[in-house]
Amino acid sequence: MKEMSRVVVVGLLILGLSGLDGVRAESIREQDVRDAIVKVYTVHNPPDYYNPWLMRGTQQSSGSGAIIDGRRILTNGHVVRDQTFIQVRRHGESRRHRARVLFVSHQADLAILTVDDPDFFEGVEPLAFGELPDTQEEVMVYGFPVGGDTMSMTKGVVSRVEHQSYIHSSVNMLAGQIDAAINPGNSGGPVIQDGRIVGVVMQSLRQAENIGYFVPVPIIEHFLTDIESGERDGIPGLGVVLQNLENPDMRRFYQMDEDKTGVLVIGIIPGSAAEGHIQEDDVLLTVAGHPVGDDGTVEFRSRERTSVSYFIQKRQLGDTIPVGVLRDGERISLDISLNYPMDKDWLIPLDAYDVLPTYYIYGGAVFVPLTMNLFKAWGPNWFNAAPKDWVAMLQHNVVTEERDEVVVLLKVLAADVNQGYHGESHWIIDRVDGHPVRNLEEMIELVERGAGEEFVVFESPAGRKMVLDREKAKKEHPDILRVYRVPQDRSDDLTAL
């Protein structure tokens, strides 16, 4: 009995030593990862889209990041949005270092920072990148969430990998879902598997518990490849509007055999990559050799599906992609050059950062393009709070031959010239002097080239009119700008007009 006990004890000691070696190796790997984690301190100064010549004032926030090769720090785009001052602090240190942005992709919610002080990167092993983790695999999230000042590590499981809406940009792209605790301050922190970066934490789902999302490594690698040239080109788009083909009668109408799957093309964006190649009423059958499902999805890994955009967004701007379409019952193969960035699709541009708003003032009337930034001036509940006719335009938010920008009368700066219109606001401007308005630049041209006419007439889609006397508007113009402390009658991007 004693001998058996001794064997057991010896066996336990051997197992224990082996286990300790594993724990020690794991601890070393974790320590190496910790050394590369940084806290990011940002001062933001976002513009005021309801008073587009003003800024909203400085705000402060913090996030996380990771040191990668090339003396660079990888973090989220939203961590450094509208930044005026950035500092970073390494894990375990007290000193903050001044940092600057090298590149940012607000669409992909990613940014690259650097620190000019060479001491900052001394002795740090940059983190490398791993592979996209499979579902049900464990990962670690590193960062500096609220609740303390030191670094936090949480473990989680990858539960989904599919297209999701990125809150920062409103763009649908590939994202990973994890059940690790993610809180404010975690943003920009790396998702680690086997000591390598497989994602960057970006957002959590407020309506649920322990559902967070990360930018997965394929999106990160696309961004890093894009900026190798020293410039960021962006993410390509095909420029088509699609409709699912799940109804059997609709499939028969478009001559779809039982062995075929695909989605119907119901619109082509003017100037897009698809223009001149794909036609309305084509059925998109394959993208990059991968069959498209009747629900608009593709299989990107065995038994895992996501949006058909996946294989397009994997390409770099300027790459060529093969697609297969069914046209009048005939299968056609096309090679399309992806020379068109997907952010040009939108009639109402999605969220923009690090840029100043566009505006134009005439006779005290303030005109601006309709953008998601302007919608969000109504707060988190903007969908219900913003003007209903504006929100309705989001139902078909793509540019057309007739209009590539929605111009709105934001408000009226009260003056004698605009008496009777002081309470008017939020009009969509459809016509000026009877001419359709394509965009704000064209509206300005219509207003200013008609200087020989006595009146200028602005008209809404509902037929409401604002008539201003040109001579009075010109005479009162300097006083209106002075009284309302507006530095100039148009934003810098319009000064050449």
Q: What is the structure's pLDDT at 18?
A: 41
Q: Are strands 365-369 and 465-469 parallel, antiparallel or unpaired?
A: unpaired
Q: What is the structure's pLDDT at 430?
A: 96
Cβ-count burial 473-482 (b if 16+ within 10 Å, e if not): beebbeebbe
Same domain, 288 and 199: no
Could you give the C-alpha distances from 76 to 44, 223, 365, 496, in angstroms and in order? 14, 12, 38, 34
Q: What is the structure's pLDDT at 143?
A: 96
Contact, 344 vs 272, CB < 8 A? yes
* Residue of 64, 187, 307, 309 marked active site: 187
Q: What is the structure's pLDDT at 6?
A: 33
Same domain, 222 and 252: no
Same domain, 329 and 257: yes
Same domain, 419 and 478: yes
204 has catalytic annotation: no
Q: Quickly count: other Cβ atoms within 10 Å of residue 486's Cβ.
A: 19
Contact, 182 vs 212, CB < 8 A? yes
**What is the domain-level CATH number for residue 178?**
2.40.10.10
- Residue 21 counted as domain residue: no
- Residue 254 counted as domain residue: yes
Same domain, 170 and 256: no
φ, ψ (nearest 5 deg) of residue 290: -105, 130
- Residue 350 counted as domain residue: no
Tens digit of each residue's pLDDT, the chain (497 residues): 333 333 333 332 333 334 444 443 444 456 689 999 999 999 999 999 999 999 999 999 999 999 999 999 999 999 999 999 999 999 999 999 999 999 999 999 999 999 999 899 999 999 999 999 999 999 999 999 998 899 999 999 999 999 999 999 999 999 999 998 888 999 999 999 999 999 999 998 877 677 899 999 999 999 999 999 999 999 999 999 999 999 999 999 999 999 999 999 999 999 999 999 999 999 999 999 999 999 999 999 999 999 999 999 999 999 999 999 999 999 999 999 999 999 888 999 999 999 999 999 999 999 999 999 999 999 999 999 999 999 999 999 999 999 999 999 999 999 999 999 999 999 999 999 999 999 999 999 999 988 678 999 999 999 999 999 999 999 999 999 999 999 999 999 998 87
- Residue 419: partners with Cβ closer than 8 Å, 6 or more residues away: none
- Residue 385 counted as domain residue: yes
Same domain, 225 and 255: no
187 has catalytic annotation: yes
Virtual torsion, Cα 386, 387, 390, 394, nearest 10 deg: 50
The token pair at 349 is 């541009």
Same domain, 367 and 488: yes
The token pair at 36 is 């590369």
Burial class (CB in 10 A: 0-12, 13-18, 19+), 116: exposed
The model carries a pTM of 0.90
* Residue of 44, 64, 91, 109 marked active site: 109
DSSP assigned state of 239: -
- Residue 181 counted as domain residue: yes
Same domain, 200 and 102: no
**What is the domain-level CATH number for residue 68?**
2.40.10.120
Q: What is the structure's pLDDT at 135?
A: 95
- Residue 16 counted as domain residue: no
**Could you give the CA distance from residue 399 to residue 349 in angstroms, rounded to a whole number?**
10
- If one counts the domains in the chain, the total is 4
- Range(s) of the domain holding residue 439: 360-494
* Residue of 62, 64, 78, 307 marked active site: 78
295 has catalytic annotation: no
